[in-house]
Amino acid sequence: MQDAHQAPPSYTRLSIDTRDFRSASAAALFQGLGVLHVQNAIPLETLAAIKAEILDGLAWLENQVGERVPYITVMRSEFDPAMRTTYERLVMLLNEVLSPQFPYRDSIAAAAGCSEIQYIMAYAREARNDGGASAHVGFHQDYPTFNKVSNIQDHFKPKRTVTCWIPLDDIDDETPSIEYLPAWLNQELPSNAQGTLDLEVFGETLDRLPHWVPPVQLGDFIIHDQFTLHRSHVTPKRTKQRRSFELRFVMR
């Protein structure tokens, strides 16, 4: 992880989300896959199957999440076994094609006209006792569970709110905790930014918070020497389709 005051690297990344997936970034990604096909690295049938699975799976996922969440960030939803199979197939393809371990990932990025793919990190946890399943799909580069928000400096204006989601099922001993939030913001906020951030954590299962929150106590935390994470509180929140923690940053 970068030093708090070190400038982020200057290179082009390819970011993909549901609103954008059928346009420029999707075309760039598929162009990269197509170049690999021409190089006989990926058979045409495999390429077609990957494209169809990703588009169909994302269309279904977008319908499940709705418009409230601006990116495919985090979702925990109850869905039937048939849908779970579709989703798990999508997860497998995304991990295979867009993860750093994929042997042709650099070639795809180069063919797509960027130096790095800001890949979609996705994984699914097996069904719970009630028959549901939990899943996390999020943008990830060098950050922990927090999702990168596009053009975050444009969002941080007076009375504007930026929302990120963290899944309940990911809050365990192996999960990077909220102590990484200042470092994440340091990479996203302009160095001359001034103001105060309020952090609100919404969660359904509050008894799971104690081992997760205390590393920074959610107290006063200096960000860029001018930003202070000065107030926080925990409030239960329920939704029909998802149960997760919502991190809401409000610039005052």
pLDDT at 106 over 60: yes
pLDDT at 49 over 50: yes
Per-residue pLDDT at 220: 31
pLDDT in tens, 184-194: 444 444 444 44
Query: Strand, coil or helix: what is 248?
Result: strand
Per-residue pLDDT at 18: 31
Would you say the pTM of this structure is higher than 0.75? no
pLDDT in tens, 175-228: 334 444 444 444 444 444 444 343 333 333 333 333 333 222 233 332 222 223
Q: Work out whether the CA dihedral 43, 36, 117, 70 comes out positive or negative.
A: negative
Judge contact between 62 and 55, C-beta under 8 A. no
Confidence band for 136, pLDDT divided at 50, 70 and 90: very low
**Both tokens assigned to 211:** 């081992």
Instruction: Please give the span between the terminal C-alpha atoms of the chain, in angstroms, as a whole number.
Output: 28
Q: What 8-state DSSP symbol labels residue 149?
A: P
Most confidently predicted of 70-79, 114-123, 159-168, 222-231 = 114-123
Mean pLDDT score, 222-235? 30
Per-residue pLDDT at 7: 31
pLDDT in tens, 50-101: 555 555 545 554 454 443 222 332 222 333 344 444 444 444 444 455 555 5
pLDDT at 114 over 50: yes
Q: How far apart are CA 54 and CA 204, in angstroms?
A: 31
Confidence band for 152, pLDDT divided at 50, 70 and 90: very low
Mean pLDDT score, 130-158? 32
